[in-house]
Structure formats: C-alpha cells, structure tokens
Structure 1
C-alpha cells in the first residue's frame, strides 16, 4: 500500500422517500449512485415514513413498480414512525428517521433531490467530525429593526443548549454578516452513528420549537427548523464547516439540484449528462414518465430551453432571480 493510499470506507447512504415527487427523485438518486459510484459497497437505505395520526394520508410509496425498481438498484426500505412532525412539518422526516437506522454504522444523508455525479467512495469523510452542506443562502435568521442582530439571535440558541458560541464563528467574516455564523443547508449531513446524531437533532429541534429563547420571538421556524438546529448538533459533536475538502459534495461528486428547472438553469454539464444518461434506461424511463415535470423537462426537452435562458458563467446571484426568469418564460415545474 502506498503512503497516500487508503482503504475504502464502508458507510450507509440514506435518503427519505415517500409518495409523490420524492419517490421519483429517489429513483433518479439511486440510479445516479449506481452509475457514478459502481464501487460503492455500503447500503443504500430509503427511510420511509409510515401512516399514523400525524399524516393526512398514507405517506408510503404506493407504486409496486417504483418499489421494485428501487430494490433492483440495491435500495433497502427502512420504515419509521412519525412521532413529532408528519404532514405539519415534513422536513422533520430527516430528523425522525435517524432513530430507525443501524446504530453505530457511519451514514451520509442526502436529500432525494440530489444526483451522485462522481465516485462517492473517494470522499475522505471523517465520520467523527460531522458536517453538512455549505451550499446555502442567508435564509435564517432575519434580524428585526429593533431586535437583536445575528450575533444575539444565534447566541441565544447556543446559550440555551450550553454550547460555546465564540468557537463556532468564522472570524474571517465581518461581524453581523450571516456567513460569520455556523449555518448549513440540510441537503446532506453525516456522522459515525445515526442514533447519536438523531437523538441530539430531535432534542434540539423540539426544544427550539416548543420553548424558543425570547430573542427569537419574531423569527419564523417553518420551514427553517432543521437548518436552525443542525449547526448546533454539528458543533456539539465536534464537527464544523471545514471538515471536508471543498469541491467534492455539492461539487464534483454530488449535485443538490432542488428542482429540475433549477438543475438545467445552473448546474454543471456533468450533472445534466448523469441525469439524462440514467433517465434513458428503458425500465427507469417508463416509470419516470409518470411524473409530468420529469417527462417535460427531460424527455420533451424543456430543460434545454431553460438552460438556453442563462449564461452558466454569469448566473444571477440569488436563486429567486433564477426562479423568476424561468417562471416568466413559462417553464417552471416541480
């Protein structure tokens, strides 16, 4: 073994899927993982919420054909019960599902609206130092005119949970600029044990939601709750913003596209190549065409029209501006 070589890590990849758009995104995710990382030896787990009083209707994937296609791609369904969130806050799935995952086994969670575009096994995860996606905008908090600023708002949460606030700061960023404060997109995160991560995630989420610090009285927790407490969890567990080399996840290895029109508008040529390659597989193609947005964007070439609206080397800085241009041209779908 050479000095710089390393044994491949074995870890689980986890997504949450349920009836509707997420089921078809899960199919694209699973197909892209097998296409781009054929040497991946871990388990691909699909956490699936089960029906219960917190769901308006059965959240499980009802299509036998979709379930079969996912299992043929090597996916395993992991059922979990929704005890705290459900229909009222579906983002809570990524919190509650962690309790159903194999204890003590390293995991990487991805949102279903993600493509694997490179060899995931080459990512040098340090599962003892968790992190999450830094591809985000300053969506939370929103300081009020006569209220606390970013420091006061964030510090109130660190104080509530007995965490050291100062060590979480990026001192290269200006005071009262949102990037100074530990903030992630929850599109991916990882750790050495899903149970340990999940217990902390749930405790912090419920405490912040049900008994927030008075400084946060004017702040919205919906839909931001998961992203509000995620940095607290990561900080508590000894992780941070710089535990992964840049340019891999949300870069050469994965693409969190959010919605297909956004993928065609702003993502790499590689991401589009992977999307259209895996979507061309006959068995998958037949299923994906059931979803109107996928049928129009990929198979009827609406995505190419969206891409022509933008200079990928000079994109609008904010996502909302990209969305608005797509919508004004009549091409928005989800």
Structure 2
C-alpha cells in the first residue's frame, strides 16, 4: 500500500523489567515491517524519584545497545503523579517529554508492527485510539447509576458535550453506545497538549469524589476511563481511522506470547520469528524467559497446535485455561 508523506513520531514505554525486552522487540518489528518510516522512535523511560522504590530506568547495556542499533532514542521523563502506584500512568506522563507540536502515535510496548505504518491514513488533527476493546469499565452496580449515568457525569464534570459522543445505533445502557477505547494505541498532533489534558482528567477522576463513580474500580482502568473524554475534547472519536490497519494488517497488540501463538495470524507469527532471528537481537531477547521458551525453544508452536484460528473460543479465559491445562502458560 502506498505510503503517506506525513512525518510523525512513535513512542513506547520501556523500563527495567519485561518492558525493556518488549520495547526491543517492538523496535525490531518496526524496522523490519516499516522501512519507509522516517520519524523518530522514542522509548520513554521513567526517571528514578520518590514515586519509584527502585530505579526504573533500563540498565541492561546490551538492551540499550540493541535499541540504539535499531535507531530508537531513550527518552527520560519524570513521574510527578503516578509512578509505581499506577504504572499505566507512564503512558500519560511520558507524553510531556515528547517533542511539542510533532504528531505522535503511542503504542503499548507489547505490540508488534506487522506492516508499513506509513500506509496508515492518520488524521492527526482528530485523535483516536484502539477499538479492540471489551466492556471492561465501568461495571454498573445494582443500586448505582448505569453506563449512561456514569459516563454522563464524567462528561459533565469536564464540560464536554455528552450526546455527540454517543453511538445511537447501540441501545441505551449498552457499553458500546458510549465512547470507549483500549489505550493500546492513540495518536494526536501534539503530545504535550494531549498529555497535559490526559493527566488532568485522569488525576481528577482518581482524586475527586465523583458520586457516580462510587463502587467503580479505577485500577487498572483509570487510563481507559479518561482517554475517551480526552479524545472527545479534541474533536476525535471512534470513526477517525479506517478499520483494518492498526489492530489489523499493520499492528498487533499481542499482550502475552501464549495468547499471540493461540490466536494471531500466520503473518504475525512470521514477523515475530523473523525479527527475533538475527543474532544481535536474539542474544539479548533470550534473557527474557517467556520469549526464550515460547519463540526460541518452540513452546509457541505447541500452543498454536491446540487451537483452530477459525474457531477460537469466544472468551479469552477459555483460551488461557486450555493453555494452562497443557502446562504451556508463561507470562
């Protein structure tokens, strides 16, 4: 597919845990699958500070060397609000360190780039995010407000027009009627503006006593509760990006290697095994036990043989249970 001429940056989060290996795998997949990408790839790493018990920076010299060889730039940022208490907040606070007024796409680190990313028709003036999502939040309680009441209260708190966010083809109080995204990827024309508002909304939802949120869990759902409000506030929505590109032919948010082998396409498997093969990447990634066992030692092929991709169980838990029953679950 023809590449677009627009230039944008890509950011993922990396730190001194499994994310450093996922960041390296992401970088390798980007360079393999998208040779026309001309922007910068940032691996945003939190600085040590009072919100971290231990130094969260990537300290493995081999990982850092491999990332540099793949053209990734380490981008330090400070954790003022979240840190260790809510590591999902990394993706919010990291945005303030990205270059101002330069379009960006943020990806969760457990993502593979599987196609030419410059072929994606981004409209950076209108933000959006992943629609590969289930109705994970909110969970209306027996005596509390339903979806409508909860979301309406949040839109009202931030002075946003609620009615224009609705998918009126969906029934009242069905979760799909309300703007909701997976935060596995999102994009906009300016990371600072997006990040500042994201941080403001998330902190407000966490810290203020909003009556309609009584009984609602915000860990780990805080980022996904705030994200639709941020996107709507900047004029974005669910219809910005044509389907079939991200979470499709161009990217795969795999989350865990056993799930990847169980349900993703042959193309995704081919990209994964191809980008891991070069020795300069393999010698670093084999330090990560799940990848070593699943990809390099062949356990992934055993997982794959358990399932028919055309007839997968509808519930992820059933897939997990099947893998665990064969002693092949790793995370």
**In the alignment, what sits opposite 2:118?**
121
TM-score (norm. length: structure 1): 0.97
Question: Could you tell me which residue of structure 2 aligns to residue 32 of structure 1?
Answer: 29
2:198 maps to 1:201: yes
In structure 1, what is the equivalent of residue 221 of structure 2?
A: 224
Counterpart-to-counterpart distance in 2, 1:212 and 1:186 = 24
Tell me if 1:285 matches 2:282.
yes
Moved more, 228-237 or 175-184: 175-184
Matches within 5 A, 1:183-202: 183-202=180-199
Map of 2:137 onto structure 1: 140
- Alpha-carbon contact 2:3-2:119 (below 8 Å) kept: no
Moved over 6 A (4+): none
**CA deviation digits over 1:253-288, x for unaligned, max 9?**
000000111100111111110000000011111111
Partner residue of 1:236?
Answer: 233
How far is 1:5 from its partner?
A: 7.5
2:55 counterpart of 1:58: yes
- What SS does the aligned partner of 2:10 have? strand
Q: Displacement of 1:311 after TM fit? A: 1.2
| Aligned equivalents of 2:270, 2:257: Cα separation in 1 | 13
TM-score normalised by the chain length of structure 2? 0.98
1:1-334 equivalences under 5 Å are 7-334=4-331
- Quote the offset at 1:327 in angstroms: 1.7
Q: CA deviation at 1:7?
A: 5.0
Task: Write out per-residue CA displacement over residues 119-167 of structure 1, whole angstroms, 9 at most, x where no aligned residue.
Answer: 0001010000000000011100101111111101111101111111111
RMSD after superposition: 1.2
Q: CA deviation at 1:185?
A: 0.4
Could you say if the C-alpha distance between residues 244 and 77 of structure 1 is closer, same or farther in structure 2, counting changes exceeding 3 Å? same
Using the alignment, how far apart are the partners of 2:4 and 2:292 within structure 1?
41
What displacement does 1:31 show?
Answer: 0.4
Aligned-residue offset at 1:321: 2.0
Between the aligned partners of 1:11 and 1:52, the Cα distance in structure 2 is 30
Aligned residue-pair number: 331
In 2, Cα distance between the equivalents of 1:208 and 1:269? 41
The CA deviation at 1:96 is 0.3
The alpha-carbon deviation at position 212 of structure 1 amounts to 3.9
Deviations 1:311-333 (A, max 9, x none): 11111222222222212221111
Q: Does the 8 A contact of 2:3 with 2:116 survive in 1?
A: no
Deviations 1:152-199 (A, max 9, x none): 111110111111111111111111111111000000000000000001
Residues 6 and 59 of structure 1: is their aligned pair in 2 closer, same or farther, counting only changes over 3 Å?
closer
Specify the SS of the correspondent of 1:313. helix
Q: Is the 8 A contact 2:2 2:119 kept in 1?
A: no
Structure 1, residues 40-75: CA drift from partner, whole Å, max 9, x if none? 100001111010110111101111110010011000
Flag structure 2 segments of 5+ consecutive residues without an equivalent.
none
Structure 2 counterpart SS, 1:207: helix
SS at match of 2:149: helix
Question: For 1:68-125, what per-residue CA distance to the aligned partner results, in whole angstroms no more than 9, with x for missing partners?
Answer: 1001100001100001111110000000011111000000000110000000001010
